[in-house]
Amino acid sequence: MTAQIQPVSTDTSDNLPEVNRQMLVILDFGSQYSELIARRIRETQVYSEVLSYRTPVEQLRQLSPQGIILSGGPSSVYDQSAPVCDPEIWNLGIPVLGVCYGMQLMVQQLGGQVERAARGEYGKASLTIDDPTDLLTNVENQSTMWMSHGDSVTQMPDGFEILAHTENTPCAAIADHGRKFYGVQFHPEVVHSEDGQALIRNFVYHICQCEPTWTTEAFVEESIREVRARVGDKRVLLALSGGVDSSTLAFLLHQAIGNQLTCMFIDQGFMRKGEPERLIELFDKQFHIPVSYVNARERFIAKLEGVTDPEEKRKRIGHEFIRVFEEESKRLGPFDYLAQGTLYPDVIESADTNVDPKTGERVAVKIKSHHNVGGLPKDLQFKLVEPLRKLFKDEVRKVGRSIGLPEEIVRRHPFPGPGLAIRIIGEVTAERLNILRDADYIVRDEIRKRGQYHDFWQAFAVLLPIRSVGVMGDQRTYAHPVVLRLVSSEDGMTADWSRAPYDLLEAISNRMVNEVDGVNRVVYDITSKPPGTIEWE
């Protein structure tokens, strides 16, 4: 993160002054790791952006990056339809690092040769370093790197030399030191590559000569300035969910514009036990950020009567959220701006915004601050304020912590927008919600009491729409089984079931069957993602 960031919105009609900044650009060729490359660069406190491989060189010149990284991708460079970047990037006079496909494209465009390898290389490989300087400084010889390729460089362009090799790949790392062009056949950005971050730091600091100026404090200061410049004396509406994104945004906007901000919390009845009350207490009473509380529980539950399909649940919850939001925004308004907790992955991966052809203003189609549970009507013409749209989730947590957001929100486990409604398999009823809410509370209470809350990515209960036989006090019972789901993960993209201590599982099970009416059995989900998902619906 850096003090020199982009304007808070992509709306060009505000004419906010352009901010000079050091940055690196990642050209994306379809790799599943492009966002991860950007995150790894930002971990060095240097700003980075992911752009399409189609980005013309004129646009790159306007951005004036200190360096360019060409991502990996699923294609082969010799395919007729293979994606290629503007070849003029080789004349920009700035360092370029090609990763996997990016390295092969560099070789091909500069006159070398890439062919199908006699033997592909996938997974961990030991890297033998031939030149330990420059890009590979402080990278240990024989360190493990993550490979994923079926093609290899068979002839290097003029001016290039080999920096490292593996048993199966003669050209595992290459360089043209004079022009500062580098290529690696492995993926330094993934956690499996032991010294991958050291390599990235070498490229960022020593080769591109960047300074570590992308800091949390600088981002907050610059965002506040830009929000004030954009909003002026107008009113802003924020749909508050209680998650880290919308909560961080609320704190940031309140610092910037004070009482011009109105927070709306729509309680659909699917939150965890005590969360709506705790949210109001924190924001309204403790931090004096006014929140308009909307109790819509009965409306939402009525909409789910008889519904068992999970997608239909989401659709109905989203639709009802739109209706409630529309009614309440008109009652509390008028508002000129809608604040959304859009994050950088949303910007990269989605097209959930439209541009008004008459005004050039961006208008909301999805309400990101409510976890995308429903799209807003196109006739609700708000201008957008999106201060977090350049941040990844881990950066949002850092910002939240720096501006005083309570740790219980900063490190809150991910929670789906439809809430407990999709942790009840089958029809959602008031009775089932009460059972699950009490069971879920026991899970959280036990791991918190033991100081283990942050040992898990998520820890929750799932209620099944079946009953099983049990015995309590010499009497036969016929009640619900509850599924206990505890998982470990770094980013939610993949996850493993947690090897939780037996005494923890025992305590949770004992409390559930003794304290929750309607539960007589607890089972533990030991499925990883993939093949399963973290949530059950």
Q: Which residue has the tokens 């339809």?
A: 81
Q: HSE of 203 in the Cβ direction (CA atoms, 13 Å)?
A: 31
**Contact status, residue 163 vs residue 130, Cβ threshold 8 Å:** yes
**Residue 192 annotated as catalytic:** no
d(CA 251, CA 399): 10
Catalytic residue among 149, 165, 187, 370: 187
Q: Any bridge partners for residue 495, and if so which?
A: 529
Q: Any bridge partners for residue 153, and if so which?
A: 114
**What is the DSSP annotation of 219-243?**
HHHHHHHHHHHHHTT--EEEE--SS
**Residue 187 annotated as catalytic:** yes
- Angle among Cα 428, 320, 327 to the nearest 5 degrees reads 145
Catalytic residue among 100, 171, 208, 210: 100
d(CA 332, CA 229): 24
Catalytic residue among 189, 222, 226, 395: 189
d(CA 441, CA 213): 42
Cis? peptide before 530, omega within 30° of 0: yes
Helix axes 430-449 and 502-515, enclosed angle (nearest 10): 140
Q: Are strands 475-488 and 96-99 parallel, antiparallel or unpaired?
A: unpaired
Distance of CA 87 to the CA centre of its chain: 32
**Catalytic positions, please?**
100, 187, 189
